Copies of this chain bind each other. A is one copy, B any other.
Amino acid sequence: MSLFQQTLGRHVDLSDAEKILLSRFEQCPQIAGKHQMLWRPRAKVGELFILQSGWACSIRCTADGEQQVIELLLPGDIIGLREFTFGRHVSEASMVTRGTIQPFHHENIVDVIAASTPLAIALFATISRQEALLTERMLITLHRSARSRLLHFMIETFFRLDKVRHVTLAAFDFPVSQRLLGSILGLSAVHINRILKTLEQDGILKKFRGHIEVYDAKQLFEEAQFDRDYLGDEMDGLKQRLAQLQLGAASANGP
Contacts and interface: CB of A to CB of B under 8 A. Distances in A.
Contact of A110 (B60, B130, B132, B242): B242
A143 B113 contact: no
Contact of A85 (B60, B70, B128, B143): B128
Interface residues of A, number: 58
A132 B88 CA distance: 13
Contacts of A237: 44-46, 86-87, 106-107
B117 A236 contact: no
Contact of A121 (B60, B85, B142, B229): B85
A87 B132 contact: no
Number of copies: 2
A207 interface: no
Given A44-B237, A124-B124, A86 B138 contact: no
Interface in A73-123: 82-88, 90, 106-107, 110-111, 113-114, 117, 120-121, 123
Contacts of A225: 63
Contacts of A66: 143
A131 interface: yes
Interface of A: 11, 44-46, 60, 62-63, 66, 68, 70, 82-88, 90, 106-107, 110-111, 113-114, 117, 120-121, 123-125, 127-128, 130-132, 134-135, 137-139, 141-143, 185-186, 225, 229-230, 232, 234-238, 240-242, 245
